[in-house]
Amino acid sequence: MSSPEEPVAAQAVPSNSVPSRPALSRPPPWRLRFLLVQVAQLPAVGLALWAAPPAGWWLAGAWGSVVCCAGTDSGWRWRNRLLILQAVAWLLLALIFGM
């Protein structure tokens, strides 16, 4: 005995239809924020490399530290801890190389 409906796999696909492609998914907001914070630290790297040694390192440390702290959000997840660690690293580098 056959059923009146055909199985889905056996149904014909119309010739004018386009096969569906998976939709491009946007990355989660935390990845965009993390990437933005990493890119926003590039001026600090430029200051550290090309500015006069004591002032350049202190400005780079302050810039990098402020950018990292501003990039954290409310929860203390591993990303926020990493950003705080980067902020501390910027200040330590300024302390070590800015003397």
pLDDT for the residue 29: 82
Task: Return the higher-pLDDT residue of 87 and 19.
Answer: 87
Instruction: Give residue-wise pLDDT tens across range 29-54.
Output: 888 888 999 999 999 999 999 999 89
Rounded Cα distance, 63 and 86, in Å: 12
Rounded Cα distance, 95 and 23, in Å: 48
Domain borders along the chain are 36-99
C-beta separation of 69 from 89 below 8 A:
no
Instruction: Give residue-wise pLDDT tens across range 52-65.
Output: 989 999 999 999 99
Place of tokens 């890119």: 39
C-beta atoms surrounding 82 within 10 Å: 15
